[in-house]
């Protein structure tokens, strides 16, 4: 037996212990070990089996790293079957995270004890999968169809208390120690515990016939484009009609279908990509970091407030600095209102809000922040204004204080140069609303010390953010890629004559919102001003001529009730607007762009390739360390569908040869230099390599 599974006989109880750090995943060695252990327990003539795990958690699921490889025997369904039909009662002691295959193992056991604080769930849909070891058939038998559907289509875990209430687990164990579990097993044997296979349970109550179709409709919008949630519904419906053994045959087929799907490959890529980003490339893991016990945020505008709340939510004391008392009070009041809304919506209780508010103080005097360990500047997005703030911070802050600038595109090196300590200056591109959005681009300036990057990355993770290290350039990764994407959308707008087909194409492909609708949401004046700042005169470029005219007509997007679309009523649903259509036609005529109908596939190609080509340039310039970092940014900050894996993953799925063919074709058709393939793509394709080879960087 491999040493990831230990077997011992404790009196008449066979104890099986899994020890496979970090999360006791069900690798092939664990599966083999479990079967061997059950065999020994049978030979030893034990009275009962107790299965538990060492370390911080029970089994957190199948070993995800095995999914791309050839299957190895025994399969998890085989192990689960042996466990369930074991002739003596099988007990499991659950702690930590009981997820995926881990919960399936637990459900095949006969008795489930749980330690307070444990989380249980079937998160397979988040990996583009369905539970593949009987979960779709056993869970409805234990908790009913509706709860089972809820758990499996969302993938959200439930608490130990909920599991007990639902009957998914039997008893609350006093502790995670072996003695607690053994005491429970002996007590249960004393009470005549017998094998109790879940497969023999009836489904609690049959829902009405129309229930499943209604459920499908209910989740359609949220699960748009994904195949796994729909299959879950099909299998739970099946569980109502057939024995577990029959249901599991169909489940296995569907599981394999999902496992081989591009969606699952994409979501598995995302799982590992999100974990890899936090390892700042080029910075040794043993780089020391500084402790951060107090933070200051400069500016109580939308971003400053959100950033301050993000720290306060994690219990860090924050001092907000504003230029005058009135603004400061307005800022603090807005924070109070935001928390009050969370209480009203049941997301927080009053005591939680009180402790968060207690973390926040305000001042108009910079001297008050002389002793903080970190300052995040979040003033107006203007280089001169920011440099002025950094000069002040340089004068006042203690040595070793980390000075971060929250900017979405400005030059962090220039801001750092305004101080005498560029090694302590770092960029922090928070996404709005900053207390909600997890993504954070951590911008390493030329002079930023590794220790400062390490400190900021660690701190960001500790407050629940998903920090991605990036280098300095205009717009960093996310906003820099957005530029050619938005430009392409506007060029297409002139050709198509109306925004609707462009947005619809990207939305049906999976984007949360089409590019023109995003422009309306962000406010067309923002990009107008940004163009002015870059020295681009209004109406000087064909691609921005419609957007320029809209801003001059005071059609700024959603906030003014009209932009590319018209937004009517309370719900602000978007409507195609004749005035925009006329404007597009007029501008197109002026610039000599004939209108034509464009296939959806061409619309998608052009927009996606614009992202891919710029992403490649970003990699070549080492602004991002890995293609997967770019994917993480797009998935978490720009509404890219996670089941598509991100723009760089998409490039590999298409194949770099095809990407180059498409770029060459577009160059020929349009003559636009934006379609010159980035040299990195050419080089990789020549070597027959994919972008993913750079993920090992
Ligand atoms: C399944 O079970 C299918 C079955 O129904 C059917 C089969 C037939 N495998 O997240 P962390 C690694 S599908 C391999 O940072 P945390 C992870 O990459 C599976 N590796 O820790 C990381 O490695 P590194 C259903 C795994 O404390 C390290 O462990 N289960 C797996 O923040 C620590 O992870 C799931 O989807 C795995 N299953 O969170 C659960 N899980 O240090 C997936 C983790 O090298 N896991 N790793 O970067 C999780 O949700 C979280 O890891 C967990 C711990 C909540 C458990």
Is the residue at 265 inside a domain?
no
Helix (H, G, I), strand (E, B) or coil at 362: strand
Query: Tell me: the pLDDT tens digits for 581-608?
Result: 999 999 999 999 999 999 999 999 999 9
Q: 196 and 49 in one domain?
A: yes
Residues 407 and 542 in one domain: no
Q: Indicate whether 19 and 103 sit together in one domain.
A: yes
**Which of 557, 590, 623 represents a domain boundary (last residue)?**
590
Residue 416 belongs to a domain: yes
- Assigned domain for 207 exists: yes
Distance (Å) of CA 81 to CA 31, 75, 178: 12, 10, 25
User: What is the Cβ-side half-sphere exposure of residue 505, based on CA atoms within 13 angstroms?
Assistant: 23
Q: Are residues 406 and 359 in the same domain?
A: yes
Q: How far is the CA of 228 from the centre of ligand 1 (A)?
A: 19
Residue 418: name the closest of 370, 385, 450, 441 by CA: 385
For atom 7 of ligand 1, the residue with the nearest CA is 132
Nearest CA to ligand 1 atom 36: 123
- Tell me what pLDDT residue 178 has: 87
pLDDT score at 278: 81
Count other C-beta atoms under 10 Å from residue 601's C-beta. 10
The confidence score (pLDDT) of residue 578 equals 95
pLDDT of residue 697 exceeding 70, the answer is: no
Helix (H, G, I), strand (E, B), or coil: what is residue 18? strand
Q: Check whether residue 543 and residue 483 sit in a common domain.
A: yes
The answer, yes or no, to whether residue 2 has pLDDT greater than 60, is no
Could you give the dihedral angle defined by the CA atoms of residues 443, 444, 448 and 449, in that order, rounded to the nearest 10 degrees? Answer: 120
Structural domain count of the chain: 4
304: containing domain: 295-470
Q: Which two three-digit tokens encode residue 190?
A: 């004393």
**Which of ligand 1's atoms lies nearest the C-alpha of 99?**
30
Please choose from 60, 154, 285 the residue to mutate so as to test ligand 1's pocket, defined by most ligand atoms within 8 A of CB: 60
Would you say residue 595 lies in a domain? Answer: no
* Three-state secondary structure call for residue 185: helix
Same domain, 455 and 585: no
230 part of a folded domain: yes
Same domain, 464 and 486: no
Cα gap 654→118, rounded to integer Å = 41
What residue has token string 């020890």? 19
- Which of 545, 566, 590 is the last residue before a domain boundary? 590
Summarize pLDDT for 398-447 with one digit per residue, the tens: 999 999 999 999 999 999 999 999 999 999 999 999 999 999 999 999 99
Computed from CA positions of residues 376, 379, 382, 383, in that sequence, does the dihedral angle turn out positive or negative? negative
CA 264–ligand 1 middle distance (angstroms): 15
- Residues 424, 543 within the same domain: no
Contact 247, 139 (CB under 8 A): no
* Active site residue ranges: 104, 124
Name which residue sits closest to atom 35 of ligand 1, judged by CA: 61
For residues 553 and 536, state if they share a domain.
yes
Q: What is the CATH number of the domain that holds 558?
A: 1.10.1040.10
Q: What is the CATH number of the domain that holds 194?
A: 3.90.226.10
Measured in Å, residue 19 CA sits from the centre of ligand 1 at 15
* 582 lies in the same domain as 560: yes
Q: Residue 187's CB: how many other CB atoms inside 10 A?
A: 11
339 and 421 inside one domain? yes
Q: Tell whether pTM > 0.85.
A: yes
Kindly give the distance from the C-alpha atom of residue 158 to the centroid of ligand 1, in angstroms, as a whole number: 17
Residue 280: band (very low, low, confident or very high) from pLDDT cuts 50, 70, 90: confident
Q: At which of 590, 617, 643 does a domain end? A: 590
Q: State the distance from the centre of ligand 1 to the C-alpha of 128, rounded, in angstroms.
A: 14
Partners of 94 in beta bridges: 114
279 occurs within a structural domain: no
Write the CATH number for 683.
Answer: 1.10.1040.50
Cα(86)–Cα(643) distance, integer angstroms: 39
Q: Chain centroid to CA 686: how far?
A: 33
Query: Can you give the pLDDT at residue 1?
Result: 46
Name the one residue in this structure whose structure tokens are 């992202």: 611
End-to-end distance of the chain based on CA atoms, in angstroms? Answer: 36
Q: Are 391 and 539 part of one and the same domain?
A: no
In a domain, 95, yes or no: yes
Q: Is residue 288 part of a domain?
A: no
Long-range contacts of 609-612 (CB under 8 A, 24+ apart): 609/659, 609/662, 609/663, 609/666, 609/675, 610/484, 610/485, 610/487, 610/488, 610/674, 611/481, 611/484, 611/485, 611/647, 612/647, 612/648, 612/650, 612/651, 612/659, 612/681
**Ligand 1 pocket, CB under 6 A:** 22-23, 25, 60-65, 76, 97, 99-101, 104, 123-124, 127, 129, 131-133, 135, 275
> Is the per-residue pLDDT at 116 higher than 90?
yes
pLDDT of residue 209: 84
pLDDT mean over 80-100:
98
Contact 475, 482 (CB under 8 A): yes
């Amino acid at each position: 037996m491999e040493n990831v599974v230990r077997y011992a006989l404790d009196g008449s109880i066979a104890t099986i212990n899994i020890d496979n750090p970090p999360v006791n995943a069900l690798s092939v060695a664990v599966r083999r070990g479990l079967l061997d252990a059950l065999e020994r327990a049978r030979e030893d003539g034990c009275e009962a089996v107790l299965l538990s795990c060492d370390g911080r958690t029970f089994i957190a699921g199948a070993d995800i790293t095995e999914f791309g490889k050839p299957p190895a025997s025994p399969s998890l369904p085989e192990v689960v079957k042996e466990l369930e039909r074991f002739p003596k009662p099988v007990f499991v002691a659950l702690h930590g995270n009981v997820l995926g295959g881990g919960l399936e193992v637990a459900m095949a056991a006969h008795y489930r004890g749980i330690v307070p604080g444990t989380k249980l769930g079937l998160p397979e849909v988040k990996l583009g999968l369905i539970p593949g070891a009987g979960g779709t058939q056993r869970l409805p038998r234990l908790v009913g169809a509706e709860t089972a559907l809820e758990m499996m289509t969302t993938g959200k875990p439930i608490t130990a208390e909920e599991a007990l209430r639902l009957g998914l687990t039997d008893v609350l164990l006093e502790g995670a120690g072996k003695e607690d579990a053994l005491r429970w097993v002996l007590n249960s044997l004393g009470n005549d515990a017998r094998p109790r296979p879940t497969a023999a349970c009836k489904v609690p109550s049959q829902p009405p016939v129309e229930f499943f179709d209604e459920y499908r409709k209910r989740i359609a919008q949220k699960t748009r484009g994904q195949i796994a949630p729909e299959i879950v519904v099909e299998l739970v419906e099946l569980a109502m009609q057939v024995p577990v053994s029959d249901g599991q045959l169909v489940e296995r087929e569907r599981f394999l279908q999902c496992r081989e799907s591009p969606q699952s490959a994409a979501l598995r890529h995302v799982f590992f990509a999100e974990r890899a980003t936090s390892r700042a490339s080029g910075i040794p893991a043993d780089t020391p970091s500084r402790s951060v016990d107090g933070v200051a945020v400069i500016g109580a505008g939308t971003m400053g407030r959100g950033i301050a709340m993000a720290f306060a939510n994690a219990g860090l004391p924050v001092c907000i600095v504003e230029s005058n008392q009135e603004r400061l009070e307005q800022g603090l009041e807005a924070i109070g209102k935001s928390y009050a809304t969370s209480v009203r919506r049941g997301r927080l209780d009053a005591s939680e809000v009180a402790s968060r508010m207690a973390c926040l103080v305000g001042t108009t005097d910079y001297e008050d922040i002389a002793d903080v360990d970190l300052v995040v500047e979040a003033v107006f997005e203007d280089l001169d204004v920011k440099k002025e703030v950094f000069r002040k911070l340089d004068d006042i802050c203690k040595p070793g204080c980390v000075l971060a600038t929250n900017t979405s595109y400005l030059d962090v090196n220039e801001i750092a140069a305004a101080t005498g300590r560029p090694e302590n200056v770092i960029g922090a591109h928070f996404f709005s609303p900053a207390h909600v959005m997890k993504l954070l681009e951590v911008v390493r300036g030329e002079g930023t010390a590794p220790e400062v990057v390490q400190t900021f990355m660690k701190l960001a993770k500790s407050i629940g953010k998903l920090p991605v290290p990036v280098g300095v350039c205009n717009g960093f990764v996310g906003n820099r890629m957005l530029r050619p994407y938005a430009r392409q959308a506007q060029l297409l707008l002139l050709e198509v004559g109306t925004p609707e087909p462009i947005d619809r194409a990207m939305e049906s492909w999976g984007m949360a919102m089409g590019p023109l609708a995003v422009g309306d949401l962000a406010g067309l004046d923002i990009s107008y001003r940004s163009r002015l700042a870059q020295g681009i005169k209004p109406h000087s470029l064909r691609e921005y001529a419609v957007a320029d005219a809209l801003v001059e007509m005071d059609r700024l997007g959603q906030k003014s009730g009209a932009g590319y679309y018209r937004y009517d009523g309370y719900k602000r649903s978007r409507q195609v607007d004749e005035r925009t259509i006329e404007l597009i036609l007029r501008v197109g005529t002026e610039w000599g762009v004939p209108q034509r109908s464009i296939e959806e596939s061409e619309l998608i190609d052009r927009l996606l390739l614009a992202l891919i080509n710029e992403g490649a340039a970003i990699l070549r310039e080492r602004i991002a360390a890995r293609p997967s970092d770019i994917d993480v940014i797009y998935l978490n900050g720009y509404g890219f569908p996670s089941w598509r894996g991100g723009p760089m993953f998409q490039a590999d799925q298409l194949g770099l040869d095809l990407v180059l063919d498409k770029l060459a074709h577009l160059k020929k058709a349009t003559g636009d230099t934006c379609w010159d393939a980035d040299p990195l793509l050419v080089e990789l394709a020549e070597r027959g390599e994919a972008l993913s080879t750079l993920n090992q960087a």
